[in-house]
Amino acid sequence: MAEASIFLHDHTLEKEKISLVCSTIEEITGRPVTSKIFKRRKNVFEPGTTVYVMAEDEEFREWLEHIRHADIRIAVLPYEKNGLCRESYAIPPDLKEAIKLAKAESVHLLDHQVLCNGDVVIGCASAGESGWISGRGAKAMAKSVFESLFSMKLFPLQIETAKEKEITTASLLVEAGAEAVMQAKRPYFFKESDNRCRRIASVIYAPQSVLGALKLRFFLAKRKINPTETLPPGVGTVKSERITIKSGSTKPIHFTVDGIKREAKEISFETIETKSKIVTGWKGCASGEEKESLRIQNLPQESDLINFFTRRTLPLVPIASEEAFAELFMKLRNSAKISAGYLLLLLVSVLMASTGLFQNSSPTIIGAMILAPLMAPIVAFAMGAVRFDETLMQRSTKTILLSVAIALAASALYAWLLPFTHITDQMSMRTHPTLLDLAVAVFAGIAAAYGYADSKIGESLAGVAIAVALVPPLCVSGIGIGWGSWPLFSNALLLFLANIVGIIVASGAMFYILGYASSRYASTAFFIKLLMVAVIAIPLYLSTRSVVADEKIYSRFESFKRVVVGGTPVDIRLSGISHTPDGDFAKFSVITPRELNSSEKEKITETLHSKLGRDIGMVITYRYRH
């Protein structure tokens, strides 16, 4: 005669706990229960026995392999060491509720096992970068994602189903397990089904950029529960009674089964019938035809795409589509052309900027910056350089050189005709280029490339043109030609060249990041551009040193803006610093309520020398405030 019921427990379980569990089972079922120590291979049961189990997940998983032919009913009870079993079989965390579930007549009994290469799978198996998805909590998630942020690479694989359908693709991670388990684990990837207890379900994660991987990871972190009609980008699902995953290269696939690490060239999932039946809390397990389901439209399946994503790390942002390529190249090729409209805008902007420089008027110069069309051929050159498109490079180079020649000639002639010979503040501002100006050009280049690539934000290119200011320094350089001033010409031209180099380097890098160039071309172009930056950075560095030296003088002066001379408070203002072949000079304005005598002026001079040092010359102007 079969035993009424048996309680199998971990050997470490305390006697008081064993006694409590047995009494609870007897109380709820009304049948006697016998307790026994859980042994993975030595437990023998009579047919029809109900076995209540409290054991560790790993021991329980191995036990299932040896007990599958026993005609018994298995009820998993909540235990601190069997979290995987409780989650996978949907067991209530409360002991009494779990026993009531086992007693219920309408409960679902799992009469098959999922095997992965012959090993029982309780939860799920995962192949690939499982650490990318396994971190829980914000801190763990950030660590798991950002540790591998720029080393993520898809691996090639082939998937076969029970209906002999073959899928060739690439993936960062594959998760697979019993459909009911995967439905509970990733409910937002699977549509609701009344028949989900015999198929194997898999999720294939194939983000096609680092940004896509981050978005997908944060999507999972939100724990969305509503299934989506369309899967997120980079996600595919396969349901079948049998799924085989084969490596698409000579390397084996690293995978885990319920957290235990394995590796193999081929991973096979199948279900087998068992006499033992496990009590589950699963819903919707009606019998019926087990149809295959393939939702793989978001996965890379073309050979070129698979090769691209498996031979290099993921790009920062998604690669551009063929339509985006065509649209951008058409736009840039048109921008690189010399047309009557382009020449008219260029000439008007040059004359307008030159007038604003002589007027010392910022609004006029800003208007000229907006009109200037010179940014377009420079960005076109950057694209041509990063893709080694000779036609685009030649066309844009011709446009840039002609534009520079016209701007220099027009501004030089304009300066020669006007009866002005003094340098205004707006001119002077563009004769002291520094590394900060190169940084502005780099930022402008990034914004310009992004603006051309995304027509939705193209309107902001006017702001980019204002920020980088290509035409004003070119006009100052032309004014230097008209006046015959080499320093004015060369310093302003250096600023213009710094702007061009910064835009070309940053735009090219941005186009590569946006997926408009391959790493083979981009790497060669990168070194060429790096050389350009190095050449232009040397004079900018020397100029920056003088600015840093000026800043030290300004900081020393901050502490004594007001002094008292002969009982009279005197305001001292540092109006500027000039650098000449004879040395550095600081220009001061001294404002007093009365006229100072020579000894008082000498005292002010000594005070300034004591603060600034005698290596700096001084030009002091006295003004009297009545």
Pairing label, strands 242-247, 266-280: antiparallel
pLDDT-flagged residues of the chain (< 50)? 1-2, 137, 459-460
Give the C-alpha separation, 104 to 43, whole Å: 25
**Burial level of 282, CB count in 10 A (0-12/13-18/19+)?**
buried
pLDDT score for 592: 84
Q: Are 410 and 353 in contact (CB under 8 A)?
A: no
- Which of these CATH numbers, 2.60.200.40, 2.60.40.10, 2.60.40.3880, 3.40.50.970, describes 119-310? 2.60.200.40
pLDDT score for 347: 93
Give the C-alpha separation, 440 to 464, whole Å: 10
Give the C-alpha separation, 289 to 435, whole Å: 71
Q: Which amino acid belongs to residue 156?
A: P
Closest CA to 165 of 307, 311, 306, 301: 301
* CA separation, residue 580 to residues 282, 488, 613 (Å): 86, 14, 18
The 10 Å CB-count burial string (b at 16+, else e) for 390-429 is eebbebbbebbeebbebbbebbbebbeeeeeeebbebbeb
Residue intervals of the chain classified under CATH 3.40.50.10330 are: 5-106
Closest CA to 464 of 379, 525, 395: 379
H or E element that contains 600: helix 598-612
User: Model confidence over 400-451: pLDDT tens digits?
Assistant: 999 999 999 999 999 999 888 888 888 888 887 877 788 888 888 888 887 7
Residue indicated by tokens 């996978």: 88
Homologous superfamily of domain range 5-106 = Probable inorganic polyphosphate/atp-NAD kinase; domain 1 (3.40.50.10330)
Phi-psi region of 288 (alpha: psi -120 to 50; beta: other; left: phi over 0): left
User: What's the sign of the alpha-carbon dihedral 171, 173, 178, 183?
Assistant: negative
Q: Are 144 and 213 in contact (CB under 8 A)?
A: no
**What fold, for 322-543?**
Glycerol uptake facilitator protein (1.20.1080)
pLDDT score for 257: 93
Q: Are 76 and 279 in contact (CB under 8 A)?
A: yes
pLDDT score for 1: 41
Residue intervals of the chain classified under CATH 2.60.200.40 are: 119-310
Q: Which residue stretches of 30-120 are H helix?
A: 57-67, 83-88, 95-103
Give the C-alpha separation, 155 to 129, whole Å: 10
pLDDT score for 618: 79
